[in-house]
Amino acid sequence: MTKTLKTTPKISVKIWRPIINKLDEKLETACLRRDAYLAKLLAVELDHLDDEVSIPNSQASYDFVFSQLDAFDRKLVSLALPQELTSRLNEICARKRIVRDAFFNRVFLLLAADQALVDKLLFEDFANDWRRDVWSEYKHEGPFFQNGFYPLEPMIDPFWAVRCAMSMYAVNGGLEDYLEPISGKSIRITRDLAGVPIPEDSVYTTVFTNKVGGNDLRGLSCYLPDRDIPGHDAEKAHQAKLEDLFANLGLEN
């Protein structure tokens, strides 16, 4: 009898060339197989993606992110991932209107980035040494504990420390509870100047406003508020409110 070998199904994604090149280099140095590592990472990250993108993107946001990402010089990459993970990712992306390739590019960028770039992208507004703060507060919890005491069962949760820092800094960040009408869930939000609810800053909702080599990093967004879409009515309303605030200070043109 001929035995049929089970193969892991593959999906194709397009990844910004400098990101995939750097990530493959780092994984090779660490003697890690990329797709096996990603499968373990996704088992953790998909729950975070669903939780953090707590307000679905608009269709205009999806279309804008797609168009910006499409301008990047990207390489077609095949990933062998368990079907249950890709199915769950596809379901989340459809329900939250997330560009799937934007998710992969964002994750790959944060994995490949050095410390200075992570600071620039996620902690630019904070003067604190977030790594020191996380070490002081959480050194006996999470991956610090798991990976130290169970070296053959490592916890693959690469953004755990980042999330701890964001949680610490968000305590006094003016957050409010909000009942999201589509999911019916109570979430934590801030509001823009026009009063529109915005999910709290997180790994997947912090907007990268930088431009690199002519590339608009908003193309790596898993969540992008309409106020950040050039020419959108929400952007105009946000700008008008900002101008009103400056006018009240006597700074109008």
Mean of pLDDT over the chain: 87
Give the separation between CA 45 and CA 156, rounded to whole angstroms: 10
pLDDT at 252: 59
Query: What average pLDDT score do residues 65-93 get?
Result: 97
For residue 242, give the H/E element and its range: helix 233-248
- Between the CA of residue 247 and those of 18, 122, 151, 238, 239, what are the distances in Å? 44, 31, 59, 14, 12
Nearest in space to 205 (alpha carbons), one of 193, 216, 189: 189
Per the structure, the complete domain to which residue 48 belongs is given by 10-248
Please check whether residue 184 lies inside any domain of the structure. Answer: yes
| More confident site: 198 or 148 | 198
Query: Alpha-carbon dihedral of residues 18, 114, 207, 191, nearest 10 degrees?
Result: 170
Please check whether residue 4 lies inside any domain of the structure. Answer: no
Query: Mean pLDDT lowest for which of 6-10, 38-42, 47-51, 139-143?
Result: 139-143
Please check whether residue 194 lies inside any domain of the structure. Answer: yes
Give the separation between CA 5 and CA 20, rounded to whole angstroms: 29
Please count the structural domains in the chain.
1
Query: Mean pLDDT lowest for which of 45-49, 132-136, 181-185, 201-205?
Result: 132-136
For residue 180, name the pLDDT band (cuts at 50, 70, 90).
Answer: very high
23-63: pLDDT as tens digits: 999 999 988 999 999 999 999 999 999 999 999 999 999 99
Please check whether residue 41 lies inside any domain of the structure. Answer: yes
pLDDT at 58: 97
Please check whether residue 3 lies inside any domain of the structure. Answer: no
55-68: pLDDT as tens digits: 999 999 999 999 99
Q: Could you tell me the pTM of the whole model?
A: 0.88
Please check whether residue 2 lies inside any domain of the structure. Answer: no
Q: Is the pLDDT of residue 74 over 60?
A: yes
